[in-house]
Structure 1
Amino acid sequence: MPSPTPVNRRQLLALLGGSIAAPLLPDIAFAQEAWPTRTVRYVNGFPAGGATDTLSRILCQKMSELSGQSFVVENRGGAGGVLGGDAVAKSPPDGYTLGLGGIATNVLAIGTYAKLPYDPRDGFTFIGGMWQLPNILCARKDLAFTDLKDLLATFRKEPGKYTYASAGFGTTLHLSGEMMNSMAGVQVNHIPYKGAGPALTDLLGGRVDLLFDNLPGSLPSVRGGQIRPVAVTSRARIADLPDVPAMAEVLPGYEMTSWTAMVGPPDMKPELVAQINALTNKALADPGLKARYADLGASPMPTSPAEMKAFRASEEARLLPIMKAAGIKPG
């Protein structure tokens, strides 16, 4: 008995009718939904005017230019970024509410808060990296020291005498100081403030000895000679301050950067995530954006979604033991 004559795909369509046969053929590609077709809300969990606000607005402006749709920054400050993170996590997963995640909301919050309104590990879609920003250690102008090594030696001779300010308990700025204390074997007392502005004001007034700050906040005062730069917390020196050493030059292995991630609500469709990731990375590759970021001491951090999620996990493994050793407990 002769075997059946094979029927190819075109013949099958002709026999059955394209409209009926198409759903039966898994290799037929369907058009991907367009995104964005309307305004995108970008939630920043920190107040207006700070480093995260400035850098977010630069990125959102470029994404607006590239997409032809508006990316509107909404500042929802409070609880170290937790309130803003919660707003993103509980939004519809349609790509029209995105926000700023990263070291504060998705790592440090784990070691700071006993209970969070969202899951910092799996309660978001990690779309990709945005930027890395080193912190800077500055000293009051009249503090006597020659360099970082000399300053640390002074701290060892007089434990508990000196103070460092930060923008708040449990922030990367606080952790920068605790990492210095631990790795250098010194005791410099932490003075937490409600924001970087008041902390810088007290450093300028000589009411504290040192300040760990996000780089953009202190740069004008450093350039104006009102405070003394001691070191940056990145692994290496930065181009904008080539004469300022990295902490790692004296304390090998020291590194603390404020990194951020573009995040969305959980359960976003992979194809939508890929579209947002591609637009974000295209904006981060723009020469004009790179130049503006460099002026603020920041560097673009383009990643894939998988790379971003893995990096977050590695930072949790690295930083939570340091927080615990510093006496930072979830409360």
Structure 2
Amino acid sequence: MTLIAIRRRSLVAAAGLLAAPRLARAQEAWPARPVRYINPYTAGGPTDTLSRQICQKMAELSGQQFVVENRTGSGGIVGNQAIAAAAPDGYTVGLGGIATHAIAPTLYARLPFDPHRDFTFASGMWQLPNLLVVNNDIPARNVPELIAHLKANPAKYSYASAGSGTTLHISGELFRAMAGVEITHVPYRGSAAAYPDIIAGRVHMIFDNIPGALAQAREGRVRALGVTSLARSPVVPDTPAIAETLPGFDMTSWTCLCGPAGIPPAVVARIAALARRALETEELKRAYLDQGATAWPTTPEQIADFRAAEEARLAPIIRASGARVD
């Protein structure tokens, strides 16, 4: 090795030693400037409201702004593609969840990202079960009676969803399989569009997110029979879990705080710690319960493992439903 090469290598090593403390300080200081939070769903919806509430709380706790940017399209795929493509410095994070990170890998023939390889997972954010509601003319007051009625009238009834591959759709497919009933899936462009037909009896039931379904049930337009989580929801404690009739039935929407792959571990730890502090405040927990959601802080390792387990659990249900996006 020449003297010039030795000196060049020494200079590079020295530069690295000088840069290391600066990098460490930058990681320890996160967030030292505003953070962009990408919400892959529309402004004004329940997901947007829940996102803005946690961003506001993280901003209060950290002293830095968390700016919500709505990047919609393809059921959350467009926004998560933007998250995956961002610089891995911790200043672009966003919302991942069951639709994009557990259902989409099986539902879509091609995805512009790999849920396992292209993201850094920091924490869970919230869980939100669905509520099974039926047309008032259906002669069933509980889930066992509904199953008996559907078995006595095979292929005569249908259920609505907010679109193929949504948790509303997969809830129906799981119910069909576990209860052994024949019901037809009717997709709509959003659950709100389905209610006029459900109320009129043209479609007979829906497994909808609690906020929308509960509002319809409280007005007496439909009848609530069960929640799709393993246990009863504190929002509707008198409504049984479907799992009380079909043990193991579970279709709970969940979200996570994630960023692009490659965020330094020290920054990931700070993101996770800030999210946990926000989600453990009584103010945010109450705000989430008001909308049917439960605050759900996790460690980075827990949410990464949970995502992988959910993808594996849901894959056979999605394949059996025949849902596929080419």
User: Please, what TM-score do these two structures have when normalized by structure 1?
Assistant: 0.88
Q: Judging by fraction of residues, say which structure has more helix.
A: 2
How far the C-alpha of 1:289 sits from its partner, in A, is 0.6
2:84 to 66, 82, 89: 89
Aligned residue in 2 for 1:280:
275
Q: What are the within-5 Å matches in structure 2 for residues 297-312 of structure 1?
A: 297-312=292-307
1:107 aligned onto 2:83: no
Partner secondary structure for residue 285 of structure 2: helix
User: How far apart in 2 are the matches of 1:310 and 1:260?
Assistant: 14
How far the C-alpha of 1:321 sits from its partner, in A, is 1.2
How far the C-alpha of 1:330 sits from its partner, in A, is 4.9
CA 309–86 in structure 1, closer or farther in 2 if over 3 Å, else same: same
Aligned residue identity for 1:176: S
User: How far apart in 2 are the matches of 1:213 and 1:257?
Assistant: 11
Q: What do residues 100-148 of structure 1 show as CA deviations (whole Å, max 9, x unaligned)?
A: 1111111100111111111111110111111111011111223221211
User: How far apart in 2 are the matches of 1:74 and 1:204?
Assistant: 35
User: How far apart in 1 are the matches of 2:234 and 2:299?
Assistant: 26
Native 8 Å contact 2:141 2:225 kept in 1: no
How far the C-alpha of 1:53 sits from its partner, in A, is 1.4
1:136 aligned onto 2:135: no
User: How far apart in 1 are the matches of 2:71 and 2:196?
Assistant: 24
Aligned residue in 1 for 2:199:
204
User: How far apart in 1 are the matches of 2:289 and 2:78?
Assistant: 29
How far the C-alpha of 1:206 sits from its partner, in A, is 3.3
How far the C-alpha of 1:203 sits from its partner, in A, is 2.2
Q: Structure 1: any 5+ residue segments left out of the alignment?
A: 1-19
Aligned residue identity for 1:114: A
1:119 aligned onto 2:138: no
Percent identity between matched residues is 53
Native 8 Å contact 2:54 2:284 kept in 1: yes
How far the C-alpha of 1:253 sits from its partner, in A, is 0.8
Aligned residue in 1 for 2:156:
161
Structure (1 or 2) with the larger CA radius of gyration: 1
Native 8 Å contact 1:128 1:277 kept in 2: yes
User: How far apart in 2 are the matches of 1:257 and 1:51?
Assistant: 15
Q: What do residues 67-91 of structure 1 show as CA deviations (whole Å, max 9, x unaligned)?
A: 1222122222221111111010101
After the TM superposition, which segments of 4 or more aligned residues of structure 1 sit over 4 Å from their partners? none
Aligned residue in 2 for 1:11:
none
Aligned residue in 2 for 1:80:
75
Aligned residue in 1 for 2:188:
193
User: How far apart in 1 are the matches of 2:200 and 2:91?
Assistant: 44
Aligned residue identity for 1:236: A
Aligned residue in 2 for 1:294:
289
Aligned residue in 1 for 2:213:
218
Native 8 Å contact 1:173 1:212 kept in 2: yes
Q: What are the within-5 Å matches in structure 2 for residues 233-248 of structure 1?
A: 233-248=228-243
1:150 to 133, 145, 149: 145
How many residue pairs get aligned? The number is 308
With 162-171 and 44-53 compared, the bigger mean Cα shift is at 44-53
Native 8 Å contact 1:133 1:298 kept in 2: yes
User: How far apart in 1 are the matches of 2:198 and 2:59?
Assistant: 38
Q: What do residues 174-227 of structure 1 show as CA deviations (whole Å, max 9, x unaligned)?
A: 000000000000011111111122123432343311011111222222222222
Aligned residue in 2 for 1:183:
178
Partner secondary structure for residue 322 of structure 1: helix
User: How far apart in 2 are the matches of 1:134 and 1:30?
Assistant: 41
